[in-house]
Structure 1
Amino acid sequence: MSYLETLPTRTEATTTTRPGLVLALACAAELMVGIDVAIVNVALPSIQADLGAGQSVLQWVVVAYGLLLGGFLLVGGRLSDQRGRRRIFITGLAVFTVASLVAGAAQHPGLLIAARGLQGFGAALITPAGLSLIAVTFAEGRPRDRALGLFGAVGGVAGSVGVVASGLLTAGPGWRWAFLVNVPAGVAIIVLAVLFLTRDRSLDRRTPLDLPGATTVTGGLLLFVYALHHGAGHGWVAAPTLALFAAAAALLVAFVRIEARSAFPLVPPATVRNRNLVVANVTGFLAFGALLAFIFIGSLLMQQALGYSPIETGLAWLATTVTIVGAATAGARLVAVAGVRWLLVAGLALLAVGSLWLTRVPAPADYATDVLPAFLLAGFGFGLCGPALQIGALSGVSRSEAGLASGLVETMREVGGAAGVAAVSTVLVAGSGLDGFRTAFACIAVLTVAGAVIAAAGFTRTPRH
């Protein structure tokens, strides 16, 4: 990776027009993408009743979105570098908006699932393009740290907002509006992006996209994420599950060999040699896995063991939502004092304590004393981790590879989240009643401790600004 063409310095950033609008558009798009990860969860029974879908078909309404999102993020990031961040950002928004319209109008489960997959593909273009727009717009240091803090806060609260919004829309105008609400929002963001986002000055158009590399890594990631879903529901040692993991591994090994020989690799060798970037991604895999598993198991705990309704469950997460926003904003400023390494360690330690708190949850449980403290600790913990991970992953990255670095860290978010949820689902199924939930939260604590150890030992130089 060349460090001569770095991301904007403090003086270079002044040449970029409307940085506040760039941040607002990126955050609005990220909110829309993040909400749709969870917005269908509460609406699934209504979708099942309206479209007559079986349970095995219905799960694909959720899986299709995450599958395509996780599989194409890396390619979306690289396309942002080579074909233009603004262009890929707008293209992703257009795909996402059209897919949302199709999903809202769908009269057949198959069409709804296809539309959800198309939404995931659009989201895989939007997220790395939006993150790299922030990276090249704001100067490395406090300006970018604060921007990434807000972007991370939006991403962190989107899931909770999605659960609440799903309950309200399903109980009100109907489940179709969980998708149709994206249409006016998407059109508005597209119009503003077309009118006000500055065109990329210099693009790497002469470098061809590494199609063999893109095909193998996308196929490998798609199969890996699908294998995680399949294994959680059908058993980890079942022949189809093992075959899926073997096929995913074969494609990813082929990707590594292709990259080693390619004249224009999708992931240049210098990227792998950037130790802080690699450590941030490994830590992110574990951290996002722990957080999404915490939200998944926490939601099931409240509904299945504590008797909460779906709307009550969504409202109970507001404590986590609020603390994520506050901690992410503060964490972006604390990077200058503590550095990425120790901010990650502190955040993961708080998340571990919150998980361990729920290993002793009684039945019946009092929300204020048995659940709320854990939710607050988790919110503070991940609020610190989110911006630190993005700052660590983008520190010192060349401007021409900002999209790739963004795609990598977002891929770790999605794949790590899928792996975390699959792992704790298996633990929960193997357990019995409330003891199963307690064991699952203990496993989440193990994930966070592993992430903290890697963050503490892995960074060769703690990035500070």
Structure 2
Amino acid sequence: MAIDPTSPPTSPPRDTPRLSTRDKLILFVLCAANFMVALDFSVLNVALPVLGADLGMSQSALQWAVTAFALPSGGFLLLFGRIGDLYGRRKLFLTGLVLFAAASLLATFAWDPASFLTGRALQGLGAAVIVPSGMSLLTTTFAEGPARDRALGISGTLMSLGFTIGVVAGGVLTDALGWRSTMGLLAVFALIVLPLAPGLLPESLPHSLKGMGGAPIPDRPHLDVPGAITVTGGLLSLIYALTTAADHGFGRADVVVTLIVGIALLTAFAVVESRTDAPLVSLSMLRRRTVAWGNLGGLITFSMMSTVVFVLTLYLQEILHLSAWETGLVFGVQGIMAVIAGSLTPRVVSRLGARRTLVAGLTGQGAFMIALLFLNAHSWSVWLAAVAVSLASMPHVAAIISYGLTVTSGVPDEEQGLATGLVTSTQQVGITIGIPLLGVLATTSDDLLSGTRLVMGIDAAILLLTAALIAVGLRTWRPAGSGAVEAEPVGSR
């Protein structure tokens, strides 16, 4: 038996290291790219009605403004994470930035629905390249310990902040400059980061792929094509089914068919990976307790918070009759609290360990959701909503940071792209599934207020149950006379 690497240190907490100027610039480039992608998830939401009128898109077609981005951004993450491991993360990251910038410009100057949706799809593909390669560059640039804790803390905070700011910025930009400015903002971000990246980021071929003097050896491991096809097809099918169900429910034939196809392909992927010599996703990686339970925590914290933001947006505008701008201000406070949490979480992790921080984060997020059970139709409820969701963002950010640390802890550098691909896949899928699975309960309820309370209750219960399961599943093992620290496979004793 082995000690869980996410257990707290037995020695006094280490001081947070000072980063060199170069390290700070590398961190800026990688975090700015993550922030940009997170912004893209929400910046267009408020602008959809105006966009549809301008480009002549029907109400049903507007769903594709979101789905066209979500499909490739979630479906190709694992594939590009592994490609980065095998063929170099730096050049993959730069390729993603170029693609994202070009796609954002296409979406900004789109002249009809087809050109706009093409831009959105290419944005999603660029995001699928940028996120896993950028995250694995971060985890391999900053050594495991306080430096990586701090880097992931900043990255996780900006990721959460980007999603929140997108809601506010989308409304402000659309009112002031029109919907095209939301896409133009993303192009500006990409064009700022792109010139800085080549001179700062190191190439990071794994040690196993280098020969004498660090030169790449000619006989590289080959990409697992059957695994890539099945996992990408499975994720694409599931994401399509869930994003479509968010607008049209689970009764539609295409939702049912793609849901079945997605499950079948992911089952086939598991079979393929168990039989290939060079799997896309090593099953031993998935059997790591830290990987399995850490990703469950990430999936739940993202899906439950995205549900709350969606349902509260409806509640604030439909029940309390707030404007889009006023609603944005409610969530703007959440962004401030997220920044505070991001600066504090690495210190908490150094004292408690990533596992306990993850459990505490999920528990705290669930506790503040309980407060939202007391929402009503009176105007003072806006303060309850603002305070509860803002305070909940602190344990939420703690859960985001600690789940990333939990999953990547103890993983060799040559598999960091895969590990971070799993982390970011969990993020994308979590954001995607929360609204169709729970948000629909509020939108289909005869009474939106009752539906909102129901969703908050279920949300809190899922968070607290998950925290309890992870506390047990990632319990600490201390072998007699051993100071080793390693991850134990799921179910091992």
- Map Cα deviations across residues 41-76 of structure 1 (whole Å, 9 max, x no partner): 111121011111100111110121112111111112
Match of 1:295 in 2: 309
Aligned match for 1:447, one of 438, 462, 466: 462
Partners of 1:341 and 1:415 in 2: how far apart? 22
Give the structure 1 partner of residue 11 of structure 2: none
- Rounded Cα–Cα distance in structure 1 between residues aligned with 2:84 and 2:18: 22
2:54 alignment counterpart:
50
Q: How is 1:300-311 mapped onto 2 (pairs within 5 angstroms)?
A: 300-311=314-325
Q: Distance in 2 between matches of 1:101 and 1:225?
A: 25
The structure-2 alpha-carbon separation of the partners of 1:246 and 1:16, relative to structure 1 and needing over 3 Å to count, comes to farther
Q: How does 1:318-357 map to 2 (within 5 A)?
A: 318-357=332-371
The one-letter code of the counterpart of 1:440 is: V
What is the TM-score of this pair, normalised by structure 1? 0.93
CA positional deviation for 1:376: 2.5
Which one of the candidate residues 193, 204, 209 is aligned to 2:197? 193
Q: Distance in 2 between matches of 1:126 and 1:386?
A: 19
Percent of counterpart pairs with the same letter?
37
The equivalent residue for 2:120 is: 116
Task: Find the partner of 1:379 among 389, 393, 398.
Answer: 393
Any idea what the Cα deviations from partners look like across 1:106-146, whole Å, max 9, x if unmatched?
A: 11112211211110111011111111111011111111101
Pick closer, same or farther for the CA change 1:202–1:70 going to 2, 3 Å.
Answer: closer
Q: Which has the larger radius of gyration?
A: 2
Q: Which of 104, 108, 126 is the matching residue for 1:104?
A: 108
| Structure 2 equivalent of residue 6 of structure 1 | none
**Would the alpha carbon gap of residues 51 and 136 (structure 1) be closer, same or farther in structure 2, given more than 3 Å must change?**
same
Aligned partners of 2:175, 2:315: CA distance in 1, in Å? 22
The whole-number CA distance in structure 2 between the counterparts of 1:446 and 1:193 is 43
1:39 to 36, 43, 47: 43
Q: What amino acid maps onto 2:472 in structure 1?
A: A
Cα distance, 1:412 vs structure 2? 0.8
| Counterpart Cα distance in 1 of 2:185 and 2:137 | 25
CA contact (8 A) 1:275 1:460 kept: no
CA contact (8 A) 2:86 2:205 kept: no
Distance 1:433 1:171 in 2: 27
CA deviation map 1:310-359 (0-9, x unaligned): 11111111121111111122111111111122211221122112211111
Shift of 1:207: 1.1
Q: Which residue in the other structure is 2:28 paired with?
A: 24
Aligned mates of 1:201, 1:381 — CA distance in 2? 35
1:59 aligns to what?
Answer: 63
Post-superposition shift, 1:365?
3.0
Q: 1:304 Cα shift?
A: 1.7
C-alpha deviation, 1:238, in angstroms: 4.2
Partner residue of 2:480?
Answer: none
Q: 2:99 aligns with which of 70, 95, 107?
A: 95
Deviation at 1:429, TM superposition (A): 3.0
1:271 Cα offset (Å): 0.7
Separation of aligned partners in 2, 1:149 and 1:56: 39
Deviation at 1:460, TM superposition (A): 4.1
- Find 1:133's aligned residue among 137, 149, 152: 137
Determine helix, strand or coil for the equivalent of 1:285: helix
Q: What's the TM-score once normalised by structure 2's chain length?
A: 0.88
Q: Which moved more, 1:193-202 or 1:441-450?
A: 193-202
Q: Is the 8 A contact 2:368 2:392 kept in 1?
A: yes
Query: Counterpart amino acid of 1:388?
Result: S
> 3-state DSSP class of the match of 1:56?
coil
Deviation at 1:185, TM superposition (A): 2.4
Partner residue of 1:424 out of 438, 450, 453: 438
Task: Decide whether aligned partners of structure 1 residues 368 and 250 sit closer, same or farther in structure 2, where only a CA change above 3 A counts.
Answer: closer
1:80 aligns with 2:84: yes
Tell whether the 8 Å contact from 2:30 to 2:135 is kept in structure 1 after alignment.
yes
Superposition deviation, residue 454 in structure 1: 2.5
Structure 1 residue aligned with 2:490: none
Question: What is the rounded CA distance, in whole Å, between the counterparts of 1:140 and 1:225 in structure 2?
Answer: 32
Q: 1:459 to 1:14 in 2, by over 3 A?
A: same
Aligned to 1:400: 414
Structure 2 SS opposite 1:442: helix
Partner of 1:230: 244
- Distance change in 2, residues 1:231/1:121 (3 Å): same
- One-letter identity of the residue aligned with 1:132: S
Q: How does 1:145-156 map to 2 (within 5 A)?
A: 145-156=149-160
Q: What is the count of residue pairs matched by the alignment?
A: 453
Q: Distance in 2 between matches of 1:448 and 1:316?
A: 23
Residue from 272, 285, 288 that aligns with 2:286: 272
Trace 1:127-276 onto structure 2 (pairs within 5 A): 127-200=131-204, 202=206, 204=209, 206-276=220-290
Instruction: Kindly state the Cα deviation for residue 16 of structure 1 after the two structures are TM-superposed.
Output: 9.8
1:237 CA drift (Å): 4.3
Q: Cα deviations across residues 229-251 of structure 1 (Å, max 9, x unaligned)?
A: 23333332444322221111111
Please list every run of 5 or more consecutive structure 1 residues that lacks an aligned counterpart in the other structure. Answer: 1-9
State the secondary structure of the residue aligned to 2:76.
helix
Question: 2:85·2:205 contact (CA, 8 Å) conserved in 1?
Answer: no
Amino acid at match of 2:466: G
Rounded to whole Å, the distance in 1 between the matches of 2:108 and 2:383 is 40
More helix, by proportion: 1
Structure 2, unaligned stretches of length 5 or more?
A: 1-13, 210-215, 478-484, 487-493
Shift of 1:447: 2.1
Q: Per-residue CA shift, 1:165-220, capped at 9, x if unaligned?
A: 11121112221111122223212211111122222254647011111111110110
CA distance in 2 between partners of 1:184 and 1:430 (Å): 39
Partners of 1:278 and 1:16 in 2: CA distance = 34
Name the SS for the 2:334 alignment partner.
Answer: helix
Match of 1:7 in 2: none
Partner SS state of residue 128, structure 1: helix
